[in-house]
Amino acid sequence: MAKDFETVIGLEVHVELKTKTKIFCSCTTEFGGEPNSHCCPVCMGLPGALPVLNEEVLNYAIKAGLATNCKIQRFGKQDRKHYFYPDLPTAYQISQDDLPICYDGHLDIEVKGATKRIGITRIHIEEDAGKLVHEEGVGTLVDYNRAGVPLIEIVSEPDLRSAEEVRAYLQKLRAIMQYIDVSDCKMNEGSFRCDVNLSVREKGAKELGTRVEIKNLNSFQSIARAIEYESQRHIREITEGGTLIQETRGFDQNSGKTYSMREKEDADDYRYMPDPDLMPIVIDEAWINSIRESLPELPDKRKAKYMEEYGLNSYDAEQLVTSRELANYFEEAAREAKNVKTLANLLISEIFRFIDLEDFKQPFPAAYLAELVNLIEGGNINISTSKKIIEEMIQSTKSPKEIVKEKGLEQISDSEVIAKLVDEAIANNQKAVEEYRAGKEKALQAVVGYIMRETRGKANPQLVNQMLLERVKN
Amino acid sequence: MDMRVNKLLDLMESKETSSEEITKACIEKIDGDMSINTLLKDEALEKARDVDNKRKDGEKVGALAGLPAVVVDNISTKDVLTTAGSKMLENYIPPFNATVIERLLEEDCILLGKVKVEEFAYEPSANVERVLDKGGAAFGISSNMVPNKISMKPSYGLVSRYGVIGGTSSFDQLVPVTNSVKDLALVLKVIAGHDEKDSTSVKREKVDYTKALDGDIKGLKISVPTDLSSNDKVKKLVEQLTDLGAVVKEVALETLKYILPAYRILSSAEFASNMGRYDGIKFGYRTKDYSNREELYKRTRAEAFSEEAKKRILFGNYVISSGQYEKYYLQAQRVRAMIRDEVAKVVAEDGFLVLPYGFEEEFKAYSLVSNMTGLPAITLGNGIQLIGPAFKEEDLIRLAYNYEKAYLEVENNG
C-alpha cells in the first residue's frame, strides 16, 4: 500500500519597508537610480561612519507586529550578523538575533472552505544589502543603492502543509502589509521576498524530515511550483530509499526544477554579537498603544464585514480583501450597487480574469461597475450581456450605459415582443417542442437558445422561460 | 614660546604675535618628526593668514581662532590622508570630516597635521604628547590619555565618535591633550556635546567647562585603592591634594584584577567585527594578486594586517563564535558590568579615584579603567590619573586646576 506523505513548510518573508530614508542614514530608499547614487559614508560602510537607527523603521515594525497579532519587545537590541560578501559593505549585516521587535503572533488563512491559523514566530528589523551587477567584459560591479534599505523579516512556524496554504498565507501577509502601508510589496522589485523551508515526512510521524531551504523565488507562481517540485522530489527520494541532505536550493524558472546551491553541513556561523555602535531599543506601552490606535481596518475585519453585511461566503469575502486597493474598489462600488452579491460575483468570476491580482489596478471606475450591477438588477440587461459589456469596458473608457445604448444591448423585456419571439421559435423548433411534451425537459433549451441567438442574447431570460413554458404546456 | 592656548589667544588678540607666526614656529619644530604622518604646511599657513586677516579686520573669530592643533591619524579628515596607522588604509582619503574636526574648524582652529597612531589605535601612543613637548602644536586630540601632559578621557558618549576609525567601538573616546587645565577646559568645551550622527553620543545640555575652574577643593573626597597607598607617585599626589583640603579614603577594589582578560575578550571581539569592512572591495588596500573573490579577501587581509591585528581578529572571532559566545563574550560583558558598577560606586560614594597611568605593562589595567567603565578620567602630567563619576568632568577639571595652580604653574612658566 502506498504511504501517505505530508509536506511541512515554514516561510521567511523579507518585506522592504517604504520609509523615505534608509535604516541607518538619510539616503533615499527609492528603487533603482544610477548605481551608487543613493549612498553615503554610512551605508557604504566607510571607516569611522556610524549608524543611527531611523525611528520610523521601529514604527513600521511594531505596526506589522500588531497587525499579525504579535507581542512587542519592550527592551530590544540590534546585532551584527557577520559574513563576507561584496554587497555587504561592513562584512556584517545589522539585524536582530535573540530579541526581535515582534514575536509570537499568528494569522488566519482560508483554504478549501476552512480557516487555518498559521503561527508567526518572530518579526525582526534589519538592513538590506546592495547588489552585484555582472557586466560583460568589465567584471562584477557592486551597486550599494539598496544597501541599508530597511527590511523586516517575518518568520512563520512550520505550520503550512501545501503550496495552496503557502499561497493563501503569502497573499494574506502581503495584504496586511499593504493595508498598514509599510511596504509596496512588489515581488518583481524585490520588496516582498520569500524563502521556503521545506521537509517531507510520513503522515502522522512526529519527527520532521530532512529540511531544505529554497531561495530565489520571485513570484507566487514560482513559489508554488518550487514547493510542488521539491515535495515530489523528497517523496521520491524517501520511497526509493535515496538520501536527502540539509541544503540550500535555488529554483530555475525555465525548467521548473530546484537545484542545489550549497550544503548546510559547514553550517554558517554568523557570530552574532550586539552592535556596540547602537543603543538598546526601548519601546514603551504608550508608543505601542499610539500605533495600535492608528492601525487601519485589517483584511480580517473587512472580510467579516462583507460576510455579515453583504451575505458573502467566506471564500468570496477572502478573495475581495487580498489587497487594500481591491477591497477599496469593491467597497466604493458596493455603496452604489443595488445588489452587492451580484457585484461580488461579477468581480470574482468575470473581472478577476482580466486583471493582475498581485498588483491590483482598477480596470474601470467603481461607479461604472455599480452602474453595471444596477443595469442587471433593473432588468435592463441580462448576465450574458453584462459579460460583453465588461469586455468592452476594459477596452474603452465608456460607461456601461453608453455601451448599452451604442450597441443596442438593452434587454428585451417587452412581453409583446417576447410573445412574438416565442411563437416564432416554437414554429421553427417543432421537434424540440414535441420532445419536451414527451417528457424530455431539457429539449426546451434548444428553443431558448434559438431566441437568444435571434436577439443576440438580449431577451430577458426569465420572461422568455416563463412565456415559453406557458405556451408549450397549453 | 609659552604654548598654552590661553596665552597664545591673548597674544594674538593683542596683536603681539600672529597665527601665521605661531604656525610657522610649530612647523619648524615638527617638520620631519617621526610622530607626524601628514603635515599640512601650506594649508595650515593659508588658514592662519585667513584668521589673522579676520582679526585684523575686527571680524568675530572662533574660540580656538588661529591655534595650530594636531589630531591622531585615525580621525577622518576630509580630503586629507587618514591611515589609522594601518597599511590597510595607506592611501585612504576620507570624503568627510569627523564631527570633532568639524567642531574644531568651526572655531577657526588650524589643523596642522595628523599624528601617527598604532594600527587602528588599538595600543596607546605618546605621539601627541611628543608633539606638544616639542612645541609643535597648541594642543592635540589623541585616542588615549598621556602620562606626562594634561589630558582627559571624557565620559563615554560626551564626545562624538563619528569619523573616528576605531577598532573597539565601546571603548573608544577621543582625548584632548593640552599644556594646561584651562586649555583643556576650553578644548573640551568645543568638542563635547551631542552629535546626531553618533547613536552612542548622549543628549545633554552643552557645558562651559571653562566656568568649572573656579572654586577650591576643600572637603573634596578622593579615594585610593589600599594596595596602592604606598605607591610613591600616588602617595605624593594624595599628600598634595590633602594639603589643598581634600579628604582621602582607602578603598578596596575587588574587580580590577578582571580588567585585562575582560578587556582582551571584548575589545578583540569588537576589533574583529570592525575590521570586516577591510576586504579590498571598496576602499583601502587591495592585493595585486588574486583570481577570485576568496583570494581577494584572503590576500588583501593577509598582506595588510599586522601579525598582532590578525591574532586579535582570530581571537575576537573565536570568542563570538557559536558555542564560545556565552562562555567568553557574554561572561566578559558581565564582568565589565561588575567592574563598572564597583568603580562607579566608589567614585560616587568615596570620591575621585586616584590611580597610576602609564603605557608600561604594570599600569595597563589601571590605564584601562576609564575605557572599561566609560567613566571620565584626567591625567595631571605626573603619571597619575583621577577618575570621576559619569559626566562630572567639571569636578575633575576644578580639582585638576587647583592642583595645577598649587604645584604645576612654576614648571609651565619655567
| Same domain membership, residue A121 and residue A60 | yes
Name the residue in chain A with its Cα closest to that of B171.
Answer: A276
Is A245 found in the same domain as A206? yes
- Residues A327 and A269 placed together within one structural domain of the fold: no
Q: Kindly determine whether residue B199 and residue A51, on different chains, have CB atoms separated by under 8 Å.
A: yes
pLDDT by residue for chain B (414 residues), tens digit each? 789 999 999 999 999 999 999 999 999 999 999 999 999 999 999 999 999 999 999 999 999 999 999 999 999 999 999 999 999 999 999 999 999 999 999 999 999 999 999 999 999 999 999 999 999 999 999 999 999 999 999 999 999 999 999 889 999 999 999 999 999 999 999 999 999 999 999 999 999 999 999 999 999 999 999 989 888 999 999 999 999 999 999 999 999 999 999 999 999 999 999 999 999 999 999 999 999 999 999 999 999 999 999 999 999 999 999 999 999 999 999 999 999 999 999 999 999 999 999 999 999 999 999 999 999 999 999 899 999 999 999 999 999 999 999 998 644 443
Task: Give, for A423, the enclosing helix (H) or strand (E).
Answer: helix A415-428
Q: Are residues A149 and A77 in the same domain?
A: yes
Dihedral of alpha carbons A377, A380, A386, A389, sign: negative
Residues of chain A in Cβ contact (below 8 Å) with chain B: 41, 44-53, 80, 82, 84, 86, 89-92, 142, 269, 271-273, 276-279
Please report whether residue A467 resides in a domain: yes
Closest CB to B161: pick one of A50, A271, A278: A50
Q: Between A49, A50, A273, which is nearest B329 by CB?
A: A273
Please indicate, yes or no, whether residues A283 and A182 belong to a single structural domain of this protein.
yes
CATH number of the structural domain spanning residue A436: 1.10.10.410
B-chain residues within 8 Å CB-CB of A44?
282
* Residue range B199-256, pLDDT digits in tens: 999 999 999 999 999 999 999 999 999 989 888 999 999 999 999 999 999 999 999 9
Question: Which residue numbers of B have CB closer than 8 Å to A's CBs?
Answer: 74-76, 82, 84, 89, 92, 94-96, 98, 161-166, 169-170, 196-200, 269-270, 273, 276-277, 279, 281-284, 293, 297, 317, 320-322, 325, 329
**In chain B, which residues have their Cβ closer than 8 Å to the Cβ of A93?**
none
A54 and A144 in a single domain? The answer is yes
Q: pLDDT at position A266, please?
A: 54
**B21 φ, ψ to 5°?**
-65, -45
Helix/strand/coil (H/E/C) assignment for every residue in chain B: CCCCHHHHHHHHHCCCCCHHHHHHHHHHHHCCCCCEEEECHHHHHHHHHHHHHHHHCCCCCCCCCCCEEEEECCECECCECCCCCCHHHCCCCCCCCCHHHHHHHHCCCEEEEEECCCHHHCCCCCHHHHHHHCCCCCEEEECCCCCCCEEEECCCCCECCCCECCCCCCCCCCEEEECCHHHHHHHHHHHECCCCCCCCCCCCCCCCHHHHCCCCCCCCEEEEEHHHCCCHHHHHHHHHHHHCCCEEEEECCCCHHHHHHHHHHHHHHHHHHHHHHCCCCCCCCCCCCCCCHHHHHHHHHHHHCCHHHHHHHHHHHHHCCCCCCHHHHHHHHHHHHHHHHHHHHHHHHCCEEEEECCCCHHHHHHHCHHHHHCCCEEEECCCEEEECCCCCHHHHHHHHHHHHHHHCHHHHHC
Q: How far is A91 from chain B (nearest CA, A)?
A: 5
Instruction: Name the residue facing A44 among B273, B279, B282 (closest C-beta).
Output: B282
With an 8 Å Cβ cutoff, are B94 and A48 in contact? yes
In a domain? residue A300: no
Out of A48, A80, A276, closest to residue B76 by CB? A48
* Chain segment A442-472, per-residue pLDDT in tens: 888 888 888 888 888 888 888 888 888 888 8
How close B256 gets to chain A, by Cα (Å)? 22
Nearest CA in chain B to A80: B273
Residues A22 and A137 reside in one and the same domain? yes
Of A238, A258, A289, which residue sits at a domain end? A289
Q: What are phi and psi of A79, to 5 degrees?
A: -120, 155
For chain B, what are the domain ranges?
Answer: 5-211
CA of B170, closest CA in chain A: separation in Å? 6
In this structure, is residue A408 part of a structural domain?
no
Strands A71-72 and A273-274, by their bridges, are unpaired
Q: Are B375 and B369 in contact (CB under 8 A)?
A: yes
| B277 with A91: Cβ contact below 8 A | yes
Q: Cβ separation of B163 and A49 shorter than 8 Å? A: yes
With CB atoms and an 8 Å threshold, state whether A50 touches B197: yes
Task: Tell whether A360 is covered by a domain.
Answer: yes
Instruction: Tell if the CB–CB gap between A91 and B279 is shorter than 8 Å.
Output: yes
Residues A45 and A101 grouped into a single domain: yes
Q: Which residues of A touch B322 (CB under 8 A)?
A: 269, 271
Residue of chain B whose alpha carbon sits nearest to that of A267: B322
Nearest Cβ partner of A47 from B84, B200, B269?
B84
Quote the pLDDT of residue B291: 93
> Chain A: residue nearest B282 by CA?
A89
- Say if A301 falls within a structural domain: no
Chain B partners of A90 at a C-beta cutoff of 8 Å? 276-277
Instruction: Give a yes or no: residue A421 inside a domain.
Output: yes
- Compare CB distances from A89 to B162, B277, B329 and report the shortest one's residue: B277
pTM for this entry: 0.89
The answer to whether the Cβ–Cβ distance between A89 and B282 falls below 8 Å is: yes
Nearest CA in chain A to B328: A273
Closest in A41, A84, A273 to B95, CB measured: A41
Would you call B277 and A45 a contact, using CB atoms and an 8 Å cutoff? Answer: yes
Nearest CA-CA distance, residue B75 and chain A, Å: 8
> Chain A partners of B314 at a C-beta cutoff of 8 Å?
none
Q: Mutation test of the interface with chain A: which of B199, B203, B322, B325, choosing the one with the most A Cβ atoms within 10 A?
A: B199
| Mean model confidence pLDDT for chain B | 95
Answer yes or no: do A121 and A241 share one domain: yes
Last residue of a domain, one of A262, A289, A316: A289
CATH top-level class of B5-211:
alpha beta
In 3D space, the residue among B234, B403, B233, B259 whose CA is nearest the CA of residue B335 turns out to be B259
Q: Are residues A276 and A319 in the same domain?
A: no
Beta carbons of A53 and B199 less than 8 Å apart: yes
> What total number of domains does chain A contain?
3
Answer yes or no: do A277 and B200 touch at CB < 8 A.
yes
Strand order in the sheet with B36-39: B36-39, B110-115, B68-72, B139-142, B175-178, B150-153, B377-380, B384-387, B352-356, B221-225, B247-251
Nearest CA in chain A to B76: A48
Interchain CB distance below 8 Å, B293 and A86:
yes
Q: Nearest CA to B87 among B247, B303, B337?
A: B303
* Whether B169 and A41 lie within 8 Å, measured CB to CB: no
Give residue A269's domain range. 5-289
Residue B413 pLDDT: 43
* Facing residue for B165 by CB, picked from A47, A53, A91: A47
Low-confidence ranges of chain A (pLDDT < 50): 1
Residues A385, A451 share a domain: no
